Amino acid sequence: MGLLSEGSPLSWEETKSYADHVRKHGVKQFINQYRKLKDRQKDVLYWGDEVEYMLIRFDHEKEVVQLLLKSTELLSSLQKQNLESKANAQILWHPEYAQYMVEGTPGSPFGCLMAHLNLVEANMKLRRESIGKLLKTGERIASITAFPRVGCPNFTYPSYKPNPTPSGCSSSLFFPDEAIHSSHPRFKTLTRNVRLRRKEKVAINIPIFKDKNTMSPFLEDLSIYGDNGESQNAAKPDHIYMDAMGFGMGCCCLQLTFQACNIGEARLLYDHLAPICPIMMALSAATPIYRGYLADTDCRWSVIVQSVDDRTREERGLEPLKHDRFLINKSRYDSIDSYLSEEGRCYNDLQLVYDKEIYEELMAEGIDDLLSQHIAHLFIRDPISLFEEKINQNDSTDTDHFENIQSTNWQSLRFKPPPPGSNIGWRVEFRPMEIQLSDFENAAYVVFIVLVTRAILTFKLNLLIPISKVDENMVTAQQNNAARLGKFYFRKDILTVNSPPEAAECVGCCERIDEKYTLMTINEIINGKEDFPGLVPMVNKYLDYIECDVDTRCTVLQYLKLISKRASGELLTMAQWTRQFVTNHEDYKNDSVVSDKINYDFLMECDKIAYGEHDCPQLFFKYHSRTRDNIPAAVSKAEANLNRKIYAS
Ligand code: ADP
Ligand code: MG
Ligand code: MG
Ligand code: MG
Ligand code: MG
Ligand code: MG
């Protein structure tokens, strides 16, 4: 979930009183870093994934599965193992929002050699094994985006009662504070401060999937959970209502970060990946169930957006602006609002909310308007947590205040400046994807995006469409079965580089922008059609072009086949397969309810599929990806040589 600062958290009132201080110094820190690093060149491609896992516990006698609140204990064992082993750690472990989550990343990022594409799946396997060794009978890890019965009575092990009073962090009717990660105060502090800043509990409403026996209108009596009326007011009819940050931030997702050769390339990739975000979200859709009810949406996105929405009523436009500074169109977790590269300029059609003073300060430093706007946009937010020890910093060497704001703007893409005092370059993080059941699938999605970035750079692909259309696509992407049925705005001609007028000062090209895109299905976007090349064929063209070695090609072929078949509808998304599982279950009463027994059977099946004990031909085929252990020696040797060269240079 971003930066983890150690220390003693300030109260919300204190944090709020330092908001201007944090912003003022955060901007100075960015400017100082920018001056040092803007001309940094020739960084090579490095990339790495982040997989978030859920810890679960099966009680086979009672046929119940619960979320296991054990991350503190597991993380300390895993991190101790890393310290004790003399070799470089192959995996890094990070705490995540929930006490039932852990995050695993490769010990060091993968490099620019194509053979490295073989390593990620093996590393993911190793992560499962490393945790698996520390678990007791019945305890498992699952890479699922949302636990179907999160927020239902006794959904955790051990089980706790939620504390709906103002003394609780979430004050939730459903999500106990004990389910929030506890070894670091950051997570509980964020939870409390989002609620206090907003001056209400967060309110999450997701359309329920209405089946023939679903109560109609669907509206629960929330007084039985101890509601004082606030929740009943916030709950919308025919929606699944949730009231805690944990429902969103307690979801697992699949992210990847890659390094660009310089800031210009990072800005370019950031922009051209923006239109890919909704496409990959729909293609990775995995969350049709919340709080024990089938939803009419397939993705987590809107749940997380609502789960950390700390905007006040004034900022949301429900009351005239009196105490607050801005009317803000989005939650601090949402899709990006502007392109950063010169090519993207004409496609920035959203009214960007940004801090004018900060913008002027950045411009006065010679930072261009697009980047200045981007930073000034991030800085409309208040710091949502602050640690006493971090108040006073050296702006020429520290970046904590900058990171404080940057890392709590949870957007579909993140533009990451190099950390101070490191040899890390400008990076972009791709954040919209949902997690998949198996290592094979997760590796496939990650590798596909890495290769799409290579194709974008090599063939100078142009994927830009108006950013407002990307937002419309984000909504479409979450709809029930969007991967098969959704129509998405996409650029018609991705092969022609922007003509100069479009790239330089806009000379009327903005007016012709509506001719540049059309509606397409995911199948057309990924696999192509008569007048559109398709992303998988472009990636294949790239692999031909670089004369990719046979073993890597064999691995990648399996990955591309998965992406391609998911897009064509020949294979189901996790979300669609989950729906089928539930609605075909003998205990399902056509009332949208996912009972304890259905949940148990579902997660048992997921476990068997993830560990290769059951085939699931609806989700994926028998694959032959080569992982670390079966990469032939020749490839390993090439890799060793290259590493030697990189480290020597
Ligand atoms: P965050 O939580 O901020 O997204 P993490 O540390 O959890 O960051 O994950 C960062 C990912 O970036 C990891 O997969 C890591 O391997 C990868 N990574 C680390 N260094 C680089 C680099 N120089 N270039 C690209 N990726 C990197
Ligand atoms: Mg994370
Ligand atoms: Mg992370
Ligand atoms: Mg992190
Ligand atoms: Mg991340
Ligand atoms: Mg934004």
**Ligand sitting nearest the alpha carbon of 259:** 1
- Whose alpha carbon is nearest atom 3 of ligand 1? 2
Give the CA count within 13 Å in the CB-facing half-sphere of 156.
Answer: 23
pLDDT of 56 strictly over 60? yes
Amino acid letter, residue 29? Q
* Residue 220 scores a pLDDT above 70: yes
Of 208-212, 275-279, 496-500, the one with minimum mean pLDDT is 496-500
- Specify the pLDDT at position 635: 57
Q: What is the pLDDT of residue 264?
A: 96
Å from CA of 96 to ligand 4 middle = 9
Q: Measured in angstroms, how far is the CA atom of residue 255 from the centroid of ligand 3?
A: 8
- What pLDDT is stored for residue 638 in this prediction? 64
Rounded-to-integer distance, Cα 288 and Cα 458, Å: 37
- Pick the more confident residue, 645 or 563: 563
User: Helix (H) and strand (E) counts for the chain?
Assistant: 23, 17
How many angstroms separate the CA atoms of 157 and 374, rounded? Answer: 43
Take atom 2 of ligand 1 and give the residue whose Cα is closest: 2
Neighbours of ion ligand 2 (CB under 5 A): 103
Give the model's pLDDT for residue 498.
Answer: 59
Write the CB contacts of 220 (distance below 8 Å, at least 6 apart in sequence): 235, 241
Distance CA 213, CA 397 (A): 61
Q: What is the structure's pLDDT at 333?
A: 98
> pLDDT tens across 556-573, in order?
999 999 999 999 999 999
The single residue listed with the structure tokens 């992303």 is 535
Q: How far is the CA of 111 from the centre of ligand 2 (A)?
A: 21
Instruction: Locate 605 and state its tokens.
Output: 């099946």
Atom of ligand 1 nearest to the CA of 108: 16
Structure confidence at residue 145 (pLDDT):
98
The stretch 124-130 carries a mean pLDDT of: 95
Q: What is the mean pLDDT of residues 404-431?
A: 96
Ligand 1 atom having least distance to the Cα of 109: 16
Rounded to the nearest whole angstrom, what is the distance from the C-alpha of residue 48 to the centroid of ligand 3? 10
DSSP string of 568-588, one letter each residue: HTSS--HHHHHHHHHHTSTT-
Q: Provide long-range contacts, Cβ within 8 A and 24+ apart, for 352-357.
A: 352/377, 353/326, 353/327, 353/328, 353/329, 353/377, 353/380, 354/379, 354/380, 355/23, 355/325, 355/326, 355/379, 355/380
Q: Tens digits of per-residue pLDDT, 469-517?
A: 999 999 999 999 999 999 999 999 999 875 544 455 565 566 788 899 9
**Percent over 70 (pLDDT), the chain:** 93
Q: Single out the residue of 245, 252, 155, 240 nearest to residue 195, CA to CA.
A: 245
Question: Would you say residue 520 has pLDDT above 80?
Answer: yes
Kindly write down the DSSP assignment for every residue of 268-283, as one continuous string.
HHHHHHTTHHHHHHHH
% of the chain exceeding 90 in pLDDT: 87
Mean pLDDT in residue range 93-115? 94
Q: What is the pLDDT of residue 2?
A: 46
Shortest CA distance to 100 belongs to which of 73, 140, 75, 68?
68
**Which residue has better confidence, 437 or 79?**
437
Cα 606-210-335 angle, rounded to 5 deg: 70
CB contact set of 133 (below 8 Å; sequence gap of 6+): none
- Which is more confident, 88 or 588? 588
Q: Are strands 333-334 and 293-294 parallel, antiparallel or unpaired?
A: unpaired
Q: What is the pLDDT of residue 641?
A: 64
Q: How far is the CA of 33 from the centre of ligand 6 (A)?
A: 22
For residue 544, what pLDDT is reported?
95
Ligand 1 pocket test, candidate residues 50, 254, 449, most atoms within 8 A of CB: 50
Separation of CA 539 and ligand 5 centre (Å): 24
Measured in Å, residue 448 CA sits from the centre of ligand 2 at: 20
Q: What is the tens place of the pLDDT at every residue in 68-88?
A: 999 999 999 999 988 887 777
* Beta strands per DSSP E along 100-145: 101-106, 139-142
pLDDT value for 7: 80
Name the residue among 272, 431, 412, 277 with its Cα closest to residue 342: 272
Residue 1 confidence (pLDDT): 46
How much is the average pLDDT of 13-28?
Answer: 98
pLDDT tens for 600-638 read 999 999 999 999 999 999 999 998 887 665 555 555 666
- The mean pLDDT value of the chain amounts to 93
State ipTM.
0.95
* Rounded mean pLDDT, 521-547: 97
pLDDT digits (tens, 9 = 90+) for 309-355: 999 999 999 999 999 999 999 999 999 999 999 999 999 999 999 99
Instruction: Name the residue of 37, 50, 257, 404 whose CB sits within 8 Å of the most ligand 1 atoms, as the mutation to test its pocket.
Output: 257
Q: Which of 5, 49, 51, 105 to mutate to test the pocket of ligand 1 (most atoms within 8 A of CB)?
A: 105
Q: Relative to the alpha carbon of 48, which ligand is closest?
A: 1
The answer to whether 436 touches 445, Cβ cutoff 8 Å, is yes
| 292, 398 contact by CB (below 8 A) | no
Q: Cα dihedral angle (96, 174, 170, 6), rounded to 10 degrees?
A: -20
101-106/47-59 β-pairing = antiparallel
Average pLDDT over residues 439-454: 97
Residues with CB under 6 A from ligand 1: 2, 46-50, 94, 105-106, 109, 255, 257-259, 424, 427, 429
Report the pLDDT averaged over residues 193-215. 98
> How many CB atoms within 10 Å of residue 87?
7
